[in-house]
Structure 1
Amino acid sequence: MYPLLTGLRIVECASFIAAPSCSLYLQQLGAEVIRVDPIGGGADFKRWPLSKGGDSYYWEGLNKGKKSVAIDLARPEGRQLLTQLITAPGKDGGILVTNLPKEGFLSHERLSKHREDLITVRVMGWGDGDSGFDYTVNAALGVPFVTGSDANGDAPVNHVLPAWDLLSGAYAAFATLAAERNRLRTGRGGEVTVPLSDIAFSALANMGQIAEVMDTGDRPRYGNALYGAFGRDFRTSDGERVMVAAITPKQWSGLVKSLDLVPTIQQIEKDLGVSFARDEGTRFTHRDTLFPIVERAIGALTMDRVRTVFDENAVCWGPYFTLKRAIAEYPRLKPGAPLFDEIDHPSGHRYPAAGAAATFVGMDRERVQRAPHLGEHTDEVLASVLSLSSARIGELHASGLVASAPSN
């Protein structure tokens, strides 16, 4: 964590990936994030993956460093209390991050009546308000029909990585800071909506894929081949797999040199009248000629030899590891690297937790903070943000309107 946003107060009423990751990124840069859940936990409190004891590793990961408040949101009094937290005074407060619907008790129109300069950042599925998440948005945009190979026939292939959720969370964090900066200049708040569908559409458009489809139709499947350049998975003589890519001229020349293929490639270029070094698209066009040659060359080498010759020649490559193996063997990902701190979590397990993905050179990283126990900070937040007395907080507990974490 870096204390760059110290003092900024975010109230989060959200679940799943996109909106909670938005607040997580802000917390990792120093903001105070108060996550409000229903008593007993929200929709993602027990989401997989789970520990053997039934605790959610997912929840622990996305809520590191946040403060947890538990309120009975089914009751009007609970919703009123949440409204007071969201709209509490202070120039660094009045910011809500949510993925709940635009209409309802968390509508910006209703909340802003209690604080005119309120900033509401709302992550959505579709821009028109329909529900959706990464896999349904991805399906509607046709991405699963480009993923995979001809062996899949007409069957879609879902991607295991929820890219639009993660991108939406990051974009929402960026939008939150932009809205807060605008409020500092103008004194005005407002609502910012970040639909996954718009993130997905804009990303595909920015990469030229919408123009491509309108010009030449849907892109066919190419399996593990890198579209538009040279790249694919290859197997070494000792059964390991490596991903090799050559996008730049330097990467291509390094690959050819490392595999002792210079004369062979020169002859192919002469026969075809092309220059693979100058044009990455040509490498893709003639991939059926190039892949077997590279496949044989890599297939004659052990993984250790591949690593040596590739690193000596600045080849862009990487081994295929399972995540478990990567954590155990790959130095860049090993716990103990600057990104990680090994900490004790609410589940009772001790394992590496990731901090801020950005490194601010010259600044010291603060240690990663664990996720809270559900309701752990209820009393603290009610006292510090709403200035409620201990007697009043006791009354709220007695009425069942709020809850704290059980004592260990």
Structure 2
Amino acid sequence: MTHTPAPSTPSTPAALAGVRVIEMGQLIAGPFCGKTLGEFGAEVIKIEAPGAGDPLRNWRLLKNGTSVWWQVQSRNKRSVALDLRQPEGQALARQLVAEADVLVENFRPGTLEGWGMSPAELHALNPGLIILRISGYGQTGPYRDLPGFGVIGEAMGGLRHLTAEPGRVPVRVGVSIGDTLAALHGAIGVLAALYHRRAHGGPGQVIDVALHEAVFNVMESLLPEYSAFGAVREAAGSALPGIAPSNAYPCQDGWVLVAGNGDSIFKRLMTAIGRNDLGSAPDLADNAGRVARVAEIDAAIGAWTAQRSVQAVTEALSAARVPAGKVYTAKDIAEDPHYRARDMILQQPTRDGYTVEVPGIVPKLSVTPGTVRSSAPHVGDDTDAVLGEMGLSDAQIATLRSKAIIQ
């Protein structure tokens, strides 16, 4: 199939041009890492099971039989449909990996080993190979063999305990944040390993990312506060414990987030809401004093916002140079001019004949920006081309297809 042209093509080589990635994961964590590397120029070859392929193709809302999520997660990738349960499929995968720079996988520990593709075996074929392994609990430790999804990682990492109103059931963040955090940590590891190999002549290596550890790594002062004071941080709803004022406040037509926790910002906020008595109070001049009276401060802000619309509140606080913002829905994002001005909403053609709006690329590099070079593939779109590049003849490819080893 002809690849859909990218919305734009940079004049300089992509940052990861020349890097070949074999993606053997599915669903979210491994593929999100592959997506990130692909956006900055890596060639990403995704190995999928023949038939339905990656289950993400059928998750959430489908258009023309395929998830629109898939259109984002798998752009810039080539799909090779290969049955890794069969020895011949495993042999083909080893051939692909032998010529790659990076292997990304997010199977349960031991799966690669069962296919004859342990790190030792793969490094014997390709000493410079960088192997990213994302799993629930990591490749070692007493929990390594337990099944683990992102939501379990969020719980074990300490996040889920905090995501609730006080005294109520912990709720999940509305996206698969545990998987995505693991993917981003994995991408950082891949880039560090690539740099080490290129700049210092280092060998290939294994990057071991556990879902719960990626979550735990962003939990800020959670553990040090327990270690130093025995303090167990508890759920605080929309507030930021120990930082004041920073909360969500009711308006006539919705909610607004206000972050007035800088010393000078707090004074401007109090002036804007007509509470100079609080703004000039000596004991509220610093954060520690404001935390001691946070309920009073929140009540004052809430009383002011409750009499106004979200737009009136955000306009007034913007004029006062106080960080504040509405709680955006998908509709708000799609209609916001700032998102479009920064190319964070892209028109992406699909191979199913329609165009869909998708998130742009983050981070933004000034010389080697990320791009969308091709749309998300159908299962096995690139099988014949990739196998042909490996040196297989048309007859050999036809034989593999007749055995259902490839699609």
> TM class by shorter-chain length?
0.7 to 0.9
Measure the CA separation in 1 of the matches of 2:262 and 2:302: 20
Structure 1, unaligned runs of 5 or more: 404-408
**Alpha-carbon offset, residue 83 of structure 1:** 0.9
SS in 2 for 1:371: coil
In structure 2, the residue matched to 1:112 is 123
8 Å contact from structure 1 (residues 233, 244) kept in 2: yes
In structure 2, the residue matched to 1:406 is none
* Residues 152-163 of structure 1: pairs in structure 2 closer than 5 A: 152=168, 155-163=169-177
* Residues 9-408 of structure 1: pairs in structure 2 closer than 5 A: 9-88=20-99, 93-100=100-107, 101-102=109-110, 103-105=113-115, 106-127=117-138, 128=140, 129-130=144-145, 131-152=147-168, 155-184=169-198, 185-204=200-219, 207-214=220-227, 215-229=229-243, 230-236=245-251, 238-266=252-280, 269-270=281-282, 274-276=283-285, 279-328=286-335, 330-334=336-340, 337-361=342-366, 366-367=371-372, 369-384=374-389, 386-403=390-407
Measure the CA separation in 2 of the matches of 1:77 and 1:302: 65
**Alpha-carbon offset, residue 80 of structure 1:** 0.6
SS in 1 for 2:96: helix
Measure the CA separation in 1 of the matches of 2:387 and 2:315: 59
| TM-score, normalised relative to structure 2 | 0.87
Could you say if the C-alpha distance between residues 369 and 292 of structure 1 is closer, same or farther in structure 2, counting changes exceeding 3 Å?
same
| TM-score, normalised relative to structure 1 | 0.87
**Alpha-carbon offset, residue 68 of structure 1:** 0.6
For 2:307, the aligned partner's letter is: A
Overall identity of the aligned pairs, in %: 26
Measure the CA separation in 2 of the matches of 1:199 and 1:366: 26
Measure the CA separation in 2 of the matches of 1:357 and 1:39: 32
Q: Which moved more, 1:32-41 or 1:354-363?
A: 354-363
Measure the CA separation in 1 of the matches of 2:154 and 2:236: 18
**Alpha-carbon offset, residue 337 of structure 1:** 4.2
SS in 1 for 2:55: coil
Measure the CA separation in 2 of the matches of 1:364 and 1:74: 38
Q: Which moved more, 1:291-300 or 1:127-136?
A: 127-136
For 2:114, the aligned partner's letter is: G
Measure the CA separation in 1 of the matches of 2:320 and 2:189: 41
Measure the CA separation in 2 of the matches of 1:310 and 1:109: 59
RMSD: 2.3
**Residues 356-377 of structure 1: CA deviation (Å, up to 9, x unaligned):** 2111225566445321111111
8 Å contact from structure 1 (residues 51, 347) kept in 2: no
Could you say if the C-alpha distance between residues 400 and 161 of structure 1 is closer, same or farther in structure 2, counting changes exceeding 3 Å?
closer
SS in 1 for 2:194: helix
Could you say if the C-alpha distance between residues 349 and 253 of structure 1 is closer, same or farther in structure 2, counting changes exceeding 3 Å?
farther
For 1:394, the aligned partner's letter is: A
**Alpha-carbon offset, residue 203 of structure 1:** 2.5
8 Å contact from structure 1 (residues 242, 317) kept in 2: yes
Measure the CA separation in 2 of the matches of 1:219 and 1:309: 34
8 Å contact from structure 1 (residues 341, 368) kept in 2: no
Structure 2, unaligned runs of 5 or more: 1-8
Measure the CA separation in 1 of the matches of 2:114 and 2:42: 27
For 2:207, the aligned partner's letter is: V
Aligned length: 384
Measure the CA separation in 2 of the matches of 1:232 and 1:224: 5
Q: Which moved more, 1:297-306 or 1:27-36?
A: 297-306
Could you say if the C-alpha distance between residues 49 and 346 of structure 1 is closer, same or farther in structure 2, counting changes exceeding 3 Å?
farther
**Alpha-carbon offset, residue 124 of structure 1:** 1.4
Measure the CA separation in 2 of the matches of 1:256 and 1:361: 39
8 Å contact from structure 2 (residues 48, 79) kept in 1: yes
8 Å contact from structure 2 (residues 49, 81) kept in 1: yes
Measure the CA separation in 1 of the matches of 2:94 and 2:170: 43
For 1:133, the aligned partner's letter is: F
